[in-house]
Amino acid sequence: MNRWIYDFAVWVDGHDWSTALHESYYLYNWVESTHVLALMISLGMLFLIDLRMLGLALTDVPASAVARRLNLPMLVGFSVMIVTGVLLFYAIPVRTAQSLWFRVKLVLLLLAALNAWLFHRRLRAAPAGWELAARAPARLRLGAALSLVFWALIVICGRFIAYDWFDCSAAPAPLIATLAGCIDGQAQF
Amino acid sequence: MSAFSLPYSRSAAVAALLVAGAWLGLSDWRLQAWQELLPLFEWMETTPLGVAGKTWGAVFALVQALHLLSMALLGGAVLVADARLLGLLLREVPLATVQQRCHRVFAWALLVVVCSGVFMACGVAVKVYYLPVFWYKMLALAVGVVFVYLVRRPLLRHADAVHPWTLRLVALASLMIWFSVAATGRWIGFSG
């Protein structure tokens, strides 16, 4: 598995455009800035929806209006995050594929997606008349709290990718090297 | 009759502030003030916050993440409030409700953003002192805070009496200002 991921990353790294994007100061930094600034659209909307469910923000705006109206801008923001995120991976594939934080982040993204799917199912199943209350029913509050935790951890992992604490080139402990996917005797990128 | 109850007195005060800021910014005073601030930035690195930020890389990175998370919340509050002013979002909810509720979220997020920002600045104080983009960001932030508390909120208190296009321009100005704050902030990390 780690071998396969490594070979794939090396293959991506061989693309001319990958090198070009990595080496372009302005293009790379603008893609990276767009990725970070789009947090204000994607997570900005998500946090407001979650905090509304918990009764911590926008309490006299109907919860269903918040969830429904902020959904579209949130999805637009997440689309930007995905496109710029893929581009960032494309620019630096091998180091990113072998980043412990990047791997943890992908697992957390899957968990957050699963949680979002469950949340929307519960939202549709919620009994009428709840949306004017300051707090949502307990099942929705649980989903909102989990969403906040997952996304906080995702942002933390994303920020940590930039640091080289556990890079393969820093020869981490064997367990971490396996989790990060380091290959014995690999070329250093 | 107090000064602030005269017609356009607040506009005059804000205009005077802008003129004073531009005059100070274009005069020699700017360079002098910058030079006099160096000891402050050197001192910031010696404070417990500065020492902690330098010593524990993981703490510094965690505070960076907190800065990003609170930025996301601040941006979300600004976007929803401005989109409501532009008539793009939550039109079924009264304008004043959306503005007040979003402002409360904005104010809390601003508090966390500023506190985490001060911690980060202490860790790398002398480095950012010499980065022009750091000062652009501080300028943008100052403009943002002045805009919110001296222009936007006083105007929205009488939103029904204000021309709809004025409200839309306020929303556009707000979006541009906070985009500039976040973008220049991100660029600090690419510089130096």
What average pLDDT score do residues B97-114 get? 96
- To the nearest whole percent, how much of chain A has pLDDT over 70? 99
d(CA B75, CA B21) in angstroms, rounded, equals 26
Query: How far are the Cα atoms of A71, A94, A119, A130, A143 from residue A113, in angstroms, in the given order?
Result: 14, 25, 10, 24, 11
pLDDT in the model for residue B161 = 87
- Reading the block at residue B178, the tokens are 């906070």
Q: Are the C-beta atoms of residues A61 and B90 closer than 8 Å to each other?
A: yes
Mark yes or no for CB contact B76/A165 under 8 Å.
Answer: no
d(CA B187, CA B192) in angstroms, rounded, equals 10
Residue B98 has pLDDT above 80, yes or no: yes
Residue B33 has pLDDT above 50, yes or no: yes
pLDDT in the model for residue A185 = 76
Q: Which of A104-118, A174-188, B146-160 is predicted with the least confidence, judged by mean pLDDT?
A: A174-188
pLDDT in tens, A77-110: 999 999 999 999 999 999 999 999 999 999 999 9
Residue A154 pLDDT class (50, 70, 90 cuts):
very high
Mark yes or no for CB contact B93/A57 under 8 Å.
Answer: no
Contacting residues of A for B104, CB less than 8 Å apart: 57
pLDDT in the model for residue B5 = 58
Residue predicted with more confidence, A188 or A10: A10
> What is the value of ipTM here, to two decimals?
0.93
Burial letters A96-112, b for 16+ CB under 10 A, else e: bbbbbbbbbbeebbebb
pLDDT in tens, A15-48: 999 999 999 999 999 999 999 999 999 999 999 9
- Reading the block at residue A117, the tokens are 């799917």
What average pLDDT score do residues A65-69 get? 92
What average pLDDT score do residues B153-160 get? 89
CB-nearest partner of A61 from B83, B98, B186: B98
Residue B4 has pLDDT above 60, yes or no: no
pLDDT in the model for residue B1 = 41
Tell me how close the Cα of B186 comes to any Cα of chain A, in angstroms: 6
- Three-class SS state of A66: helix
Residue B3 has pLDDT above 50, yes or no: no
Chain A residue with CA closest to B84: the answer is A69
Q: Where would I find the H helices in B3-94?
A: 9-26, 29-46, 48-55, 57-85
CB-nearest partner of A41 from B79, B90, B105: B79
Contacting residues of B for A78, CB less than 8 Å apart: none
Contacting residues of A for B112, CB less than 8 Å apart: none
Contacting residues of B for A60, CB less than 8 Å apart: 97, 101
Ranges of each domain in chain B: 48-190
pLDDT in the model for residue B138 = 95
